[in-house]
Every structure is written in structure tokens, then in C-alpha cells.
Amino acid sequence: MRPILFFPLVLLLLGGCVSALVNVATAPVRLTGKAIDLATTSQSERDENRGRALRRLEQRYGKLEREYRKETARCAQGRAQSCARQQAIMAEMEEIRPQLPVQPD
């Protein structure tokens, strides 16, 4: 009679141990999966990163355009320093322009 009562009691007491053993056994698989996920970049993440980079370039280009217009006006007034600055701004704009996507007219 005792073994019959003892067996269910042992199962109840070892229930937590079994789940702990399962967690320990599956931990390497879960950690490997997480490491692979962190090490790789999905296509959507690459697209998001590319979009952010393009927006930063477009913002920089827009700022340069505004500065270029101001320096052009100052250069027209005869300020030699503004003419030099205008040329430097144009050079930077020329570097950025090939990286920007073509805008349809």
C-alpha cells in the first residue's frame, strides 16, 4: 500500500525539477537562436537603416543648398570670403549628390 501512495507524492515533489531539467536542456538551443538573430540583419532592418541614411543625406543636402543660396547672395555683394565658402559648399554638394536617389520630375 505504501508504494502506491509514495509514487504520486514523488511526482508532485519532482514536478519542479523536471521543468528545470527541461529548461536547462533547451537553454543552449535558445541561446544559439538568440545569438544568430542578433548577429544577422533582416531585409527589413537593412531597408530601415538605408532609409535613415538617405534621410540624413537629404537633410544635409537641403541644409547645404540653403547655405549655398545665402553665400551666393553675399558673394554677389562682393564678399570674397563668401565666394570661397560658396565653392566649398558646392564641392560638398557634389560629393553627396551621387548618393541620393533620383527624384522624378
Q: How far apart are CA 104 and CA 58, in angstroms?
A: 15
> What pLDDT does residue 12 have?
61
Count of residues in the chain: 105
Q: Is the pLDDT of residue 17 over 80?
A: no
The pTM assigned to this predicted structure is 0.58
Q: How far apart are CA 48 and CA 41, in angstroms?
A: 11
What are the pLDDT digits (tens) for 57-101?
999 999 999 999 999 999 999 888 999 999 999 999 999 999 988
Q: pLDDT over 70 for what percent of the chain?
A: 74
